[in-house]
Chain A
Amino acid sequence: MAEEFPFEMSPMYEGERIRKDDMWVELGGPNADGFELCVSAEMDELEDGRVTILGPDLNELEEGASVPFGMIYKVAGELIEKDLEGIIERRNHALFAFIQGQMHLNQRYDIWCRISKDMKKKGVESFEPIFRGVMTLYKAELPFIEKMETVVVTDPDKVKEELAKAMESYTWRDDRAKGMHDDDVDVFYGCTMCQSFAPTSACCVTPDRPSLCGAINWFDGRAAAKVDPEGPQFPIEKSGLIDAITGEYESINAMAEKRSGGEYTRMALYTFFDAPHTSCGCFETIGFYLPEVDGIGVVDRDHKGVTPNGLPFSTMAGQAGGGKQVIGFLGIGILYYLSSKFLQADGGWRRIVWMPKALKERVKEGIPDEMFDMIATEEDAEEVADLKKFLLKVDHPVVDGVVRTVDDKKITEGWTVEDPSEFEDEVIGYIEETGGDLDVDEIKEKLLMSEGQFMQVVEYLQDEGILE
């Protein structure tokens, strides 16, 4: 392969940096537009191996200059589909840099390449052999590419024009990626990066559930695991489904047991209560169960005040962190709030009763419209009593019982009173005061009781013969 080209090509040159002193030309980078794009095409549209150059060729560029640059790879083959474009394009980072004397940094519209003066000394004059070389590498590595062409763009106006078109492809890809769900993949990724201070933490990263720290999404897990499968990010085969609603899998349980050193044997993805995900300590926000209202509050690390349970973020983080499974607390990454599987087993957003205003704004996109105004913030309630009043006023689902969206099952009973006799005087007093003319809103406001709770007391009083 090497004798065909006036330069060396080998993986050993990947990652080579070209210093300014050694640079012939700079393509893209901080001072010029640049992009790389792979597009799929039909077999009959391509002439295999062709390189088209739109604008000045390499030897026509001013030495030491930063020039606008685009490289478009067109690929065809029986197995090629649009979904593969991003994956093929990503390989350019390595393959372009396999050529000795070429640097490639970053991706998409952020590319930054340099070609060294050594390439000039070797007699390279045109982009043509360079991209023939890159295409040779591509076809050797990805044999499903049957035909391949490259369009090199150096004309500044043309670069702008093609970049605008490329943006449409990137946007299409991003929409696809954002729309990807756990059901669409066969592999999840584990992460044990923070085990140095959270020794039993066993993070499981899925498309619907990014890491608690907010740093790692499913794609990051995939990229890291590919580079170093023995490293802190590793693949978990999605297998042995136990419960689709709580997100419990045999493979994840096995991972949790292994990585927590046997501390935990079960770990479910989409629940707060039964064998929840471990909480590392790095989490961006924490959820806390409020038994008084049978709902879940959440708070982020930027919120400095206390929450309705009387505790600030830091105290709860200290109690639940360290890689533990603590029923009643759960570390949550910001991106999980935007997920369609957000605590789906527990009722999702219908179970959330309190969150700081700033956090609410930040994750607005993920909150169903009908729930947005039903979730209290620090402006509505600072203590449980105020929170109760607020939830009664807005008719929050927790008051009369939550029906979870995922399977329309009613999962909570709604508020009840434990011992109706405690409320005997209050309820009788109210009935006497109103002369039996009951107003539900007034009951909520004055007695801090739901209609159900009020009726529960009334029934008790009737059973006892106190009321008729």
Chain B
Amino acid sequence: MGRVIAITGKGGTGKTAITAMFLRSLLKRDDKCIILAIDADPDANLADTLGDKVEITVGDIRENLQESMASLPPDYDKKQYFAAKVFEVLLEKDGYDMLVMGRSEGSGCYCYLNSLLKGIMYETMDDYDLTIVDTPAGLEHLSRKTITGLESLIVVSDESRRGLKTAETIRQLADELDLEYENLYVIVNKVHEQSRDQVLNTADGLDLKVIGMVPYDENIARLDLVGDPLIGLPDDSPAVVEVENIIKEIGLGG
């Protein structure tokens, strides 16, 4: 199993943009690190941010399977069947693959399918050097152990005190869920130059380790405005430069 990094944060903090910038930077490197990007947030759209189109999600497959299970041949191996379908929706791009988890469960019992999915996700992630997960603040797939082997949990926050308090809440949640991880870092996003000291003070008071402060970036705002993928950000864009620093700090991508 390669390294697994999850990026989380409440809506509006820009966690998906940060995830996309992580991928953008890692893909520009020369090493042969094969990356799996998992969009585990039903409300976010990592694929879109990267310029990818995803029509069917893992959640859709689980739902189809739930409905069609009784009509499969009696001795059909459902795990194999499920695994092949998951492989089918895996988006194979240059240097990275992308898996979108999509919708959550409908009514009915998903014990069996989720236990199969757990195995399938483990085996899938096993094939990659690095897995980056964009996960909602509720840490859904991590709490259910669909996604395991977490090395670092990165919480994205805005510069407000309230934002950093949310980061603290997510840390508490992770502890309550008995999530196993080695590091918890905070990235403060859309930071104004004059706020930097205050942000660090607040974080210190909450015992949060800030690993980077991504400045507010006109380039991102412009791309977001028209819905263009962030993969097209210029190398000297201030946010990109800071994300490069963070990647170095965490020791990602060789």
Interface residue range, chain B: 20 to 34
Most chain A CB atoms below 10 A, which of B75, B78, B112, B113: B75
Determine whether the beta carbon of A223 is less than 8 Å from that of B77.
yes
Q: B83 at the A/B interface (Cβ < 8 Å)?
A: yes
Interface string of B112-126 (1 = CB under 8 A from A): 110100000001101
Determine whether the beta carbon of B123 is less than 8 Å from that of A15.
yes
**CB neighbours of A173 from chain B (8 A):** 73, 75
Tell me, rounded to whole Å, the shortest Cβ–Cβ distance linking B76 to chain A: 7
Determine whether the beta carbon of B111 is less than 8 Å from that of A20.
no
Interface string of A177-203 (1 = CB under 8 A from B): 110000000000000011000000000
Determine whether the beta carbon of A16 is less than 8 Å from that of B127.
yes
**CB neighbours of B74 from chain A (8 A):** 174, 177-178, 217-219
**CB neighbours of B126 from chain A (8 A):** 15
* Choice from A30, A107, A178, A211 contacting B80 with Cβ under 8 Å: A107
Most chain B CB atoms below 10 A, which of A20, A213, A215: A215
Q: Residue on A with the closest CB to B109?
A: A282
Q: How far is the CA of A220 from the CA of B82 in the complex (A)?
A: 13
Q: Residue on B with the closest CB to A170?
A: B73
Known: A15-B123, A110-B81, A232-B115. A213 touches B109 (CB 8 A): yes
Chain A contacts with B in 369-398, Cβ cutoff 8 A: none
**CB neighbours of A216 from chain B (8 A):** 112
Interface string of A288-309 (1 = CB under 8 A from B): 0000000000000110000000
Q: B69 at the A/B interface (Cβ < 8 Å)?
A: yes
Determine whether the beta carbon of A219 is less than 8 Å from that of B75.
yes
Known: A20-B92, A21-B94, A174-B74. A301 touches B80 (CB 8 A): no
Determine whether the beta carbon of A215 is less than 8 Å from that of B84.
no
Chain B contacts with A in 147-178, Cβ cutoff 8 A: none
Chain B contacts with A in 85-134, Cβ cutoff 8 A: 87-88, 92, 94, 97, 107-109, 111-113, 115, 123-124, 126-127
Tell me, rounded to whole Å, the shortest Cβ–Cβ distance linking B129 to chain A: 12
Q: B54 at the A/B interface (Cβ < 8 Å)?
A: no
Q: B225 at the A/B interface (Cβ < 8 Å)?
A: no
Q: How far is the CA of A350 from the CA of B61 in the complex (A)?
A: 39
Known: A15-B123, A17-B124, A105-B80. A194 touches B111 (CB 8 A): yes
Known: A17-B127, A214-B69, A215-B69. A194 touches B83 (CB 8 A): no
Known: A19-B97, A20-B92, A21-B94. A106 touches B108 (CB 8 A): no
Q: A414 at the A/B interface (Cβ < 8 Å)?
A: no
Q: How far is the CA of A301 from the CA of B111 in the complex (A)?
A: 16
**CB neighbours of A30 from chain B (8 A):** 88
Identify the 7 closest CB pairs spanning chains A and B, nearest first: A282-B109, A215-B112, A106-B84, A177-B74, A105-B84, A213-B109, A219-B75
With A110-B84, A215-B69 known, 8 other A-B pairs at CB within 8 A are A16-B127, A20-B92, A21-B94, A105-B80, A108-B76, A110-B81, A193-B112, A282-B108
